[in-house]
Amino acid sequence: MKPFWALAKRMLRYRRLLLLAVAMAFISAGGLGVGLVGVVPILKTILPGTDPQTRLPRPSQDLPQIAAEWNQHLQNSKIASGMGLHIPDEWVRALPSGPFTAVVIMISVLGVLTMFGGIANFLHAYLSLTVVQRTVTNLRREAFHKVLRLPLKQVVASGPSDVISRIVNDTTTLGGGLTALISKALAQVTKGVASLAAAFLIDWRMAAASIPAAILLGALIRKLGTRIRRASRSALQSQAGLYGAASEALQGLRVVKVHATERFEAGRFHRINKEVMRQLNRVRTARALASPLIDVLAIFIVGVLGLVAAKMILDGKLDPGHFLLVLAALAAAGASFKPLSGIWADVQGSAGAAGRILELLNLQPEPGHDSKLPKLPRHHHSIEFKGISFTYPNAAAPSLRDIDLTVSHGETVAVVGPNGSGKTTLLALVPRLFDPQVGRVLIDGRDIRDFNIRSIRRQIGVVTQETVLFRGTVRSNIAYGAENATDDRIREAARKARADGFVSAMKQGFETTVAEQGLSLSGGQRQRLAIARAILRDPAILILDEATSMIDADSENKIAEAIAEFSAGRTCLIVAHRLSTVLNADRIVVMDQGRIVDTGTHTDLLDRCEVYRALAQHQLVPMTSMTGTAAK
């Protein structure tokens, strides 16, 4: 429960609203307590009593008589006298006489109290839910902000589906627990306490006899709550897996359909779904046990109290009317406390979510976001990889081994190699998507780990093979990360990326809405928008990770010209799979099994590098015309 209470403390940011909600709960409960105590004079007024001296019926009483008797009762009560409860004599003398008049006045007063209690009850629920929703909203924002700052390898290792589940599902579950705590539980507890206080005022001996039962019920609720908390955490973990399975299948629906694997994906989802059901059934069992166990226990308690009271009444030690009123007050208290089993189950169920959220919030962000770190000056000299070695989490072998490479400013370097040779990983070290376990990356002779990470990334433009577009317009996607870009700059970037033609052909032009993941555009169109986005940043370093893989042969030459024009005076690092890109590079770096095996020009490498020769023959794709003829 520690994680739950740690996150519940965040509600204290809204102290005024929280204190007002608590005050409204006490006012509402106070109305219930006063109402229960107020039944005593009404019954005394309506029903004839018995004279203790003669044992003969006596007439109904008026308000002054009832007030005088009630004062006497308060003086005889240790609790009431200790609290100084007393009706002033001047109030007693001012009360109207007559039984019927007394009943009308008392019922009117109780009606007014009920109205005030109802208003207070509404305000308590309204204010409580406001505090909970603000707390959960801020927590969700903080969790998402934390994820954006996490090291990429950590998100990759745990999987984005688990992270999304914690941000969305777990915060919602936590909100349910917080609502149960300050809205439902507080209301029920204050009403129960008010009812118990009324019972103690009427007859403290009968009320005190219920305390051991309350302790026993509390222990039972706590035991069941522990089981619910553990099962709920397992259920949330299973739900994260379910979210991941559904997300993967739907995002890759095109591949699923082409490979006719609908049945396989449905089976995988079904297996995970059954595990979620199994974990939720564990929660169900504990919840289902709570209510009947408490009911049975309550019946036994009432039975024992009834036997004790019957003996005292027969012995003349207890007024039957007081017994009935105390029993009614205790019943009201029991009715208020009974929902606490379900409410506590909700709180315990959210404790598992709280633990998962707190784990996320306690993760260390990627280094380099400290605002005190100096900004890296704009790149103008060189990029150096010195003694680099890198291994992905849980990987069997390093992805990079003993890499030493220097790239001069303004140089275009193509990196080639078999699949899995470490090309993409090497380029990912420059914007610090990963940090090497061994070695250093230097820009202009400076270790990039000593500088603010935003100042590094702002001077790097990246275009990857897997184009990422966001929900929004064509304009917003090109201007992503460059919020202050003017309309002229956006259009110029689109022109240089050869995207202005198809954008202008759209009905709404640059204001055309892009579907989720850019599925309303072709692969080539998405790639050109990504290139335009990189051009708009005006980067000193341009990283192209197979950036023209989705471009058709007819437009590839135009894109290559645009990149060649734009990369002038900039350092350009390219993971290449097309022969034309390799031929246009100033230098080619050949990688194999995480190592640099050779560097040089296309002609030199063909003569001396066996790995490159095999790549040129089998993997490097020649630029072809639209008719399929290889470019010479």
The vertex-168 CA angle with 162 and 173, nearest 5°, equals: 105
The tokens describing 27, both together, are 């006012």
pLDDT at 162: 79
pLDDT tens-digit map of 542-591: 998 876 655 566 656 666 777 777 888 899 999 877 777 788 888 999 99
pLDDT band at 507 (very low <50, low <70, confident <90, very high): confident
Q: Give φ, ψ of 8 to 5 degrees.
A: -65, -30
pLDDT digits (tens, 9 = 90+) for 417-435: 888 899 989 999 999 988 9
Q: Calculate mean pLDDT across residues 203-222.
A: 69
Quickly state the pLDDT bin for 298 (edges 50, 70, 90). low
**What burial letters (b/e) apply to 122-147, b meaning 16+ CB within 10 Å?**
ebbbebbbebbeebbeebbebbbebb
Domains of the chain: 2-62+98-234+288-361 (1.20.1560.10), 374-459+539-632 (3.40.50.300), 470-530 (no CATH)
What pLDDT does residue 67 have?
Answer: 61
Distance CA 310, CA 603 (A): 109
Residue with more model confidence, 465 or 539: 539
What beta strand segments (E) does 149-261 contain?
none
**Using an 8 Å Cβ cutoff, are 381 and 444 in contact?**
yes
Residue % of the chain over a pLDDT of 70 = 65
Between 621 and 481, the more confident residue is 481
Q: How confident is the model at residue 96 (pLDDT cuts 50, 70, 90)?
A: low
Q: What is the pLDDT of residues 492-506, one digit of tens each?
A: 989 888 888 888 888
Helix (H, G, I), strand (E, B) or coil at 471: coil
**Residue 59 main-chain phi, psi, to 5 deg:** -70, 165
- Whether 324 shows a pLDDT value over 80: the answer reads no
pLDDT at residue 388, as a whole number: 95
Phi, psi dihedrals of residue 402, rounded to the nearest 5°: 50, 55
Which tens digits make up the pLDDT trace of 340-352? 666 777 777 788 8
**Which has the minimum average pLDDT: 23-37, 508-522, 534-548?**
23-37
pLDDT at 53: 40
Higher pLDDT, 396 or 281: 396
Contacts for 199 with CB less than 8 Å, ≥ 6 apart: 36, 206, 207, 210, 326, 329, 330, 333
Taking the C-alpha atoms of residue 435 and residue 429, their distance in angstroms, rounded to an integer, is 6
What is the pLDDT at residue 280? 72
Is residue 41 over pLDDT 60? Answer: no
More confident call, 98 vs 189: 189
pLDDT exceeds 90 at position 538 = no
pTM of the model: 0.69
The number of residues in the chain equals: 632
What mean pLDDT value characterizes the chain?
77
Is beta strand 446-447 parallel, antiparallel or unpaired with respect to 438-443? antiparallel
Nearest to 138 by CA among 236, 16, 2, 9: 9
pLDDT category, 151, cuts 50, 70, 90?
confident
